[in-house]
Structure 1
Amino acid sequence: MNARKVLILGGTAEARSLAVLLHDAGVDAVSSLAGRVKNPALPVGQVRVGGFGGVDGLVAWLRQHGCAAIIDATHPFARVISANAAQAAACAGIPLLTLRRAPWETQPGDNWIDVADLTEAAHAVTEMAAARDGLRVFLTTGRQDVDAFRAVDDAWFLIRLVDPPEREGPRRSTIMRSRGPYTLDGELALLREHRIDVVVTKNSGGNLVRAKLDAARTLSLPVIMVRRPEAAATGPRVLTAAEAAQWVEGLAP
């Protein structure tokens, strides 16, 4: 086993930053991307794309490549791969570090409606639509989740995605394909142009797409915020790539 070989489960800005730090430090790191996004931003160093075939496949890959550790730097809502990583690390007998950027927190002037999941988010939109005519929703929860709002017929949705949706979404909607980062001025213009009444998003954290929250606050718009799922792993957790790189440096030789 290579005591310095690390698997990074990536796809996030933090994972790309970590790949740079480990590459510069001479660490043998492999970044793994799920392959769901077309033309993703690629990290430096070794990259693999695609799934492992569940927990057993991931364990086999770790053993075959002699990895000493896994760093789960996936999206905060990537529940399946995070759960698989926790099980695989335990089976392979290697440490697992979770790298998650801090969640967004409310600021003075925010009007957030906290919901547990997408089902509750759709219910909240339905209730808003029943209370007013012509509700206009800015939906930014991702292409895998648009079907959660499929049954909402009393609202119009502007759905912003990087790639086309995987499932059928709400009937009254317009798809806007775009990739961040976004600016406050740009988000303000977008919300005003489309006369948005409410923003629906997940609490992914980070600065890449935070401007929509600042714009909603500026315009006094409510935000339906889907809270993060419970963590799959119970081991060490860090918030930044620098902290993750320091953890790798401390791995036993």
Structure 2
Amino acid sequence: MKSATTSPLDLGCAGEARPLRVLVLGGTSEARALAARIAQRPTIQAVMSLAGRTSAPLDVGLPTRIGGFGGADGLARYLAQTKIDRVIDATHPFASRISANARSACAALSIPLASFGREPWRAQEGDRWIEAGDLGEAAAALAGAPKRVFLTIGRLGVGAFRAQPQHEYLIRTIEPPELAELPPRSALLFSRGPFAKDDEIALMREQRVELVVTKNSGGPSTYAKMEAARELGLEAVVISPPAYPEVSRLGDLDAAMAFLS
């Protein structure tokens, strides 16, 4: 893997015809699927950028850059130096900082930018959702009597729930959170999706879960917990993803490849 300070793009010789240069901001299953399609196109020279928040990221089949760019200005410098022609934001729906930086950097350089990813989940009949705009609202929704809470928001942001210390939290994450961020009555469960509905039901029963807290990250890989909560009749506090209406949204892989044509 390449370091955050090394460009994996070959700039070629002056005057040579060159492939379309693409930066994919990744970290999701959708980004990996897109990478597999791009790898089959010799007319596209792409690099995958990962934030580096997991210690063992999955192989995506493309040259990979790990780490931040140094804000919007740093990203703009990288795009200019490597002569990027297109940027696809295929990050997690809640990766708001890099998405904002991409919008700013691409606008400054007039580089086409599009978003590719999953649609958010929609409440179904039988769901008992409490919708929250952010982590603070989600924590506030937990005010009241002590409960067994299944907290599935990843390792970042768990500190918001220290405001509700009366609950027992089962926190599922890929990487360990900072200990200082944990609510006082917490247990950690390290696991990576996708998850099956029957397994989620069994887990919630075994752990005597009474309420689920999750980010509405969309997609199928972690939706089973929502199905399990519905079947068990559990309330779920669901944090809505940020919206970026000014960015073109690509609905599927074919649309993403068309954007790169």
Q: Partners in 2 of 1:227 and 1:70 — Cα distance?
A: 25
Alpha-carbon distance, 1:100 to partner: 2.4
Which residue is equivalent to 1:137? Answer: 149
Alpha-carbon distance, 1:3 to partner: 6.0
Q: Partners in 1 of 2:254 and 2:50 — Cα distance?
A: 20
Q: Aligned runs of 1:27-106 on 2, under 5 Å?
A: 27-106=44-123
Which residue is equivalent to 2:247? Answer: 235
Alpha-carbon distance, 1:77 to partner: 0.5
Which residue is equivalent to 2:176? Answer: 164
Contact 1:202 1:226 in 2 (8 A): yes
Contact 2:19 2:45 in 1 (8 A): no
SS at match of 1:63: helix
- Give the unaligned 5+ runs of structure 1: none
Which residue is equivalent to 2:207? Answer: 194
Which residue is equivalent to 2:159? Answer: 147
Which residue is equivalent to 1:125? Answer: 142
Which residue is equivalent to 1:219? Answer: 232
Q: Aligned runs of 1:111-122 on 2, under 5 Å?
A: 111-122=128-139
Residue type of the alignment partner of 2:25: L
Greater RCO structure (CA 8 Å; 6+ sep): 1
Alpha-carbon distance, 1:42 to partner: 2.1
Alpha-carbon distance, 1:242 to partner: 2.9
SS at match of 2:143: helix
Which residue is equivalent to 1:205? Answer: 218
Q: Partners in 1 of 2:149 and 2:255 — Cα distance?
A: 38
TM-score, with normalisation over the residues of structure 1? 0.93
Give me the identity figure in percent.
47
Residue type of the alignment partner of 1:79: S
Q: Partners in 2 of 1:150 and 1:142 — Cα distance?
A: 15
Residue type of the alignment partner of 2:190: R
Among candidates 36, 44, 52, match of residue 20 of structure 1: 36
Question: Which deviations, in whole Å up to 9, do the C-alpha atoms of 1:152-191 show, x marking residues without a partner?
Answer: 1211000000000035121011011111110011101100
- Give the unaligned 5+ runs of structure 2: 1-10, 12-17
Among candidates 3, 20, 29, match of residue 4 of structure 1: 20
Residue type of the alignment partner of 2:27: G
Residues matched between the structures, number: 243
